Amino acid sequence: MMRGHQTWLFQNKPVIIATAAVGGPYEAAGPLAGDFDLLHGDLWLDQDSFEKAERKMLEEACEVVIRKAGLQKQDIQFFLSGDLLNQIISSTFAARTLAVPFLGLYGACSSSMESLALGSLMVDGRFGNNIICGTVSHYAAEEKQYRYPTEYGAQKPPTAQWTVTGAGAALLAAAGEGPRVTAATIGRVLDMGITDPFNMGSAMAPAAVDTITAHIRDLGISLNEYDLVATGDLGRVGHRIAADLLKKHDIELPQNRFTDCGILIYSEDQTSVLAGGSGCGCSATVTFGHIINRMKKGELEKVLIVATGALLSPLSYQQKESIPSIAHAVSIERPH
Amino acid sequence: MMRGHQTWLFQNKPVIIATAAVGGPYEAAGPLAGDFDLLHGDLWLDQDSFEKAERKMLEEACEVVIRKAGLQKQDIQFFLSGDLLNQIISSTFAARTLAVPFLGLYGACSSSMESLALGSLMVDGRFGNNIICGTVSHYAAEEKQYRYPTEYGAQKPPTAQWTVTGAGAALLAAAGEGPRVTAATIGRVLDMGITDPFNMGSAMAPAAVDTITAHIRDLGISLNEYDLVATGDLGRVGHRIAADLLKKHDIELPQNRFTDCGILIYSEDQTSVLAGGSGCGCSATVTFGHIINRMKKGELEKVLIVATGALLSPLSYQQKESIPSIAHAVSIERPH
């Protein structure tokens, strides 16, 4: 059911019966390595292009999540996925492999929670069961498409972020064991006029705050109800801006309860990541790996994941457009 | 509720309270010109790029549909849209203008019915009201991105199709007057190994037939229940293949009840369109203009729109991949 202007409250609380996280070499060297189901030692995955390697990770995440749920491919009713490649080819080609009814999504890096929100809505409304919600990104494939092929060795400012090489997937069902999705807030597109694609955290921070404030307003709750609020990929620069903007709304969370997937996934020693991780795979792998694992261990009862997306294209940037941004928030609870 | 493996049956039958169709110069010269709400005499719409012209058409379609429904922008709860430009920038920038909660979709040219199906699910399940489902395409913007800038004057084979310059939008509500959405069948991704981007009708025809047969199987109905079955943009070549494939399933419809939006939108005299119209805007403008108008006039009681999408990207084509395809079907009924 709708609550307020932009929030869905799920009365049947869809269950995340399994999750999967697949990562690449930089993720394997990071502090969350132990939370991945599968890690690759190089960016190629034995494929002849980075795009094919990206697709393969998403296919692997789907395989792993089906296996962990104890299901077969034919038990899956829908696949909801989006990614950053033009025409979301990683998702569509993975959907060809899965061969189940497919809904393609695009919300840039917010696609992880866009798919989880829509999948939860479908399960909650009895419009489907055993739904895979997935997404993927790949450092070299995205650099090539959005900026420069990495072989050029182009330099970047310290506000730039590092695209996560990783795929995440969740399997949603009407019944079963696992954390449950209780609500989702769908974001509006905001644009504060930032035009620098090397500073996307700043562009996306206002969208994250807009969605967080809508979420607590629509549900009439305090953000303190959550043990953890994690933005998707604001990185160190954007996350600080988000914290400052929340303060202006009189919302302040202790540092250990307000974090960002793009900060968590790499260590401070990994200096090449600059301001932190980004990409569809960032919030997906951290949520469906690390955060769900912490919930299962009993360390977290209730979390809010606020996946952020920068809705630019290289063409819109070249045409001097600013960067519209969006954020979708999903709350996940551990059953008592 | 779910019916069979891939069909949603809408028990509350969401109402299409208004629709809008915006077109360009080729559409203005075609036989359906009278069904457009707004027609433009050139491809530029006073913008300085074709991409901005594409976005403007979608913004216009949203404005028109809100006005025709007698609503204000602030009455709109969600905007669901996708398009063919990389990172669906027409949709995301139009969403910035609308400033309402936004869900970005990508199903190539099937996006028109993907958005109508998902919007109907949201209204049916009480997860939203006054939802705009829209999509857009633009001949010159798409040629430039997918093939060659039109200024090159590249020649095309007769199987090629002509991207419709147009935007279509529908406004869905839980109550009101208008045709009602009764069911939707979500397609699987099929790939018959066709690699020629100048022959997309052939690549997409099997997906259309797969979804049509799933639709009648899931609902236990005959295709003859429909006064009109319209595929999205198979064109003359693909439509003939779809008819042949249906025959193999012992399904045969009289010619006046099985058509294709890509055939309807242009006349045979418009020889530059080759095998017919294509693009997101093809099924959207023909459905939300011509077909809905025929329903309102009482000429049609029950129609099935099967929007087809070719899920390739220029990159996947250059990497020698074949063209995966998908089709989503939505049935629309005139209330008695």
Q: Tens digit of pLDDT for each residue in A141-175?
A: 999 998 888 888 888 899 999 999 999 999 999 99
- Closest CA relative to residue A106, chosen from A115, A95, A98: A115
Q: Is the pLDDT of residue B58 over 90?
A: yes
Whether the pLDDT of residue A64 is over 80: the answer is: yes
Cβ-in-10-Å burial (0-12, 13-18, 19+) of A239 comes to buried
Phi and psi based region of residue B290 (left: phi greater than 0; alpha: psi -120 to 50; beta: remaining): alpha
Q: Do A101 and B127 touch (CB under 8 A)?
A: no
Give the helix/strand (H/E) hosting A133. strand A131-137
Residues in chain A within 8 Å Cβ distance of B127: 1-2, 8, 121, 125
pLDDT category, B149, cuts 50, 70, 90?
Answer: confident
- Best residue of B62, B75, B316, B319 to probe chain A, by most A CBs closer than 10 Å: B316
Q: Report the pLDDT value the prediction gives residue A71, as an integer from 0 to 100.
A: 98
A233-276 residue pLDDT tens: 999 999 999 999 999 999 999 989 999 999 999 999 999 999 99
Residues of A in contact with B147 (CB under 8 A): none
Put simply, the answer to whether B87 touches A316 (Cβ < 8 Å) is: yes
Which residues, 6+ apart, have CB-to-CB distance to B324 below 8 Å?
A92, A93, A95, A96, B189, B190, B191, B310, B311, B312
pLDDT band at A2; cut points 50, 70, 90: very high
Chain B residues inside the 8 Å CB shell of A190: 96
The answer to whether the CB atoms of B87 and A313 lie below 8 A apart is yes
Q: Which of residues 192-231 of A touch B (CB under 8 A)?
A: none
B105 touches chain A (CB under 8 A): yes
Q: Where in chain A are all domains bearing CATH 3.40.47.40?
A: 2-173, 180-333
pLDDT at residue number A187: 98
Contact at CB, A106 and B102, closer than 8 angstroms: no
Residue B292 at interface with chain A, using a CB cutoff of 8 Å: no
Q: Are A332 and B109 in contact (CB under 8 A)?
A: no
Q: Which residues of A touch B313 (CB under 8 A)?
A: 85-87, 89
Q: Which CATH class is domain B180-333?
A: alpha beta
Q: Which residue type does A197 have?
A: P
Q: CA of B155 to nearest chain A CA: how many angstroms apart? A: 25
What CA dihedral angle connects B323, B138, B279 and A281, to 10 degrees?
50
Quick one: pLDDT at residue A107?
Answer: 97
Closest CA to B226 of B330, B297, B120, B328: B330
Q: Are the Cβ atoms of B188 and A49 closer than 8 angstroms?
A: no
pLDDT, tens digit, for every residue of A4-58?
999 999 999 999 999 999 999 999 999 999 999 999 999 999 999 999 999 999 9
pLDDT at residue B61, as a whole number: 98
CA distance B215 to A94: 23
Cβ distance A77 to B5 less than 8 Å, yes or no, reads: yes
Buried/exposed code over B81-104 (b: 16+ C-beta within 10 A; e: otherwise): bbbbbbbbbbbbbbbbbbebbbbb
CB B314 within 8 A of CB B99: no
Q: How far is A234 from chain B (nearest CA, A)?
A: 19
Of A5, A128, A313, the CB nearest to B89: A313
Nearest C-alpha of chain A: how many angstroms from B89?
7
- CB count, 10 Å around CB of B75? 14
Contact B315/A85, CB-based, under 8 Å? Answer: yes
Nearest-CB residue to B324 (from A2, A93, A188): A93
pLDDT tens-digit profile of A300-319? 999 999 999 999 999 998 99
Name the residue type at position A165. T
Instruction: Please state the ipTM of this predicted complex.
Output: 0.97
- What confidence tens digit (pLDDT) does each residue in B226-277 have? 999 999 999 999 999 999 999 999 999 998 999 999 999 999 999 999 999 9
Q: Do B86 and A88 touch (CB under 8 A)?
A: no
Average pLDDT of the residues in A64-76: 97
Checking if the pLDDT of B336 tops 80, the result is no
Report d(CA B111, CA B311) in Å as an integer: 11
Contacts of residue A130, Cβ cutoff 8 Å, sequence gap at least 6: A69, A71, A75, A76, A77, A171, A172, A173
Identity of the residue in A5, A51, A106 whose CB atom sits nearest the CB atom of B315: A51
The tens digit of pLDDT for each residue in B99-114 reads 999 999 999 999 999 9
> Which of A178, A216, A208, A184 lies closest to A117 in space, CA to CA?
A184
Query: Taking all residues of chain B, what is their mean pLDDT, rounded to a whole number?
Result: 96
A247 CB within 8 Å of a chain B CB: no
- Residue contact A106–B104, C-beta within 8 A: yes
Bridge partners, residue B79, by sequence: B102, B132
**pLDDT tops 90 at residue A120:** yes
Alpha-carbon gap: A20 to the closest alpha carbon of chain B (Å): 23
If you average pLDDT over residues B30-47, what whole number do you get?
Answer: 98
| Range with the poorest average pLDDT among A84-93, A195-204, B5-14, B203-212 | A195-204
A317 and chain B: CB distance < 8 Å anywhere? no
- So what's the pLDDT on residue B147? 84
Asked if B130 and B77 count as a contact pair (C-beta separation under 8 A), the reply is yes
Q: Provide the CB-side half-sphere exposure for B4 (13 A, CA).
A: 20
Over range B185-191, report the average pLDDT: 97
Express each pLDDT in A71-89 by its tens digit.
999 999 999 999 999 999 9
- Chain B 158-197, residues with CB within 8 Å of chain A CB atoms: 186-191
Residue A29 Cα, gap to closest chain B Cα (Å)? 30
Kindly write down the DSSP assignment for every residue of A57-106, as one continuous string.
Answer: HHHHHHHHHHHHTT--GGG--EEEEEESSGGGHHHHHHHHHHTS-EEEB-
Q: Is B119 on the interface with A (CB under 8 A)?
A: no
pLDDT of residue A149: 83
Mutate to test the interface with A, among B8, B79, B102 (most CBs of A within 10 A): B102
Lowest mean pLDDT among B101-105, B145-149, B203-207, B253-257: B145-149
d(CA B143, CA B54): 13
DSSP state of B96: H
pLDDT at residue B20, rounded to an integer? 98
CB–CB of B101 and A127 under 8 A? no
User: How many contacts, defined by CB atoms under 8 Å, are there between A and B?
Assistant: 178
Q: Supply the pLDDT for residue B150.
A: 83
**Is B11-173 assigned to CATH 1.20.1560.10?**
no
Residue A130 confidence (pLDDT): 98
| Token pair for B181 | 């959405």
Q: Which of B89, B108, B128 sits opposite A87 (nearest CB)?
A: B108
Q: A268 to chain B nearest CA, in Å?
A: 31
Taking the C-alpha atoms of residue A183 and residue B157, their distance in angstroms, rounded to an integer, is 51
When scoring B1, B58, B89, B92 by the number of chain A Cβ atoms within 10 A, the one with the most, hence best to mutate, is B92
Query: For B313, which of A86, A95, A315 is closest by C-beta distance?
Result: A86
Contact between residue A97 and residue A59 where contact means Cβ atoms under 8 Å apart: yes
When the candidates are 3.40.50.920, 3.30.1360.100, 3.40.47.40, 3.40.50.11740, the CATH number that belongs to A2-173 is 3.40.47.40
| Alpha carbon distance A60, A62 (integer Å) | 5
In terms of C-beta density within 10 A (0-12 exposed, 13-18 middle, 19 or more buried), how is residue A281 classed? buried
Which candidate from B101, B191, B314 shows the least CB-CB separation from A188? B101
Degrees (nearest 5) of the Cα angle A139, A143, A147?
A: 160
Residues 6+ apart with CB under 8 A from A313: B85, B86, B87, B89
Whose tokens are 């991409």? That residue is B51
Strand-pairing partners, residue A163, are A278
For chain B, what is the largest distance between any 2 Cα atoms, rounded to a whole number of angstroms? 53
Confidence at residue B152, expressed as pLDDT on a 0 to 100 scale: 86
Residue of A nearest to B94 (CA): A189
Structure tokens at A131: 């739904």
Tokens 């993927």, located at residue: A136
Q: Where in chain B is the domain with CATH 3.40.47.40?
A: 11-173, 180-333
Locus of tokens 């110069």 = B25
Residue from A157, A196, A161, A173 nearest A71 by CA: A173
Q: Which residues of A touch B315 (CB under 8 A)?
A: 51, 85-86, 89
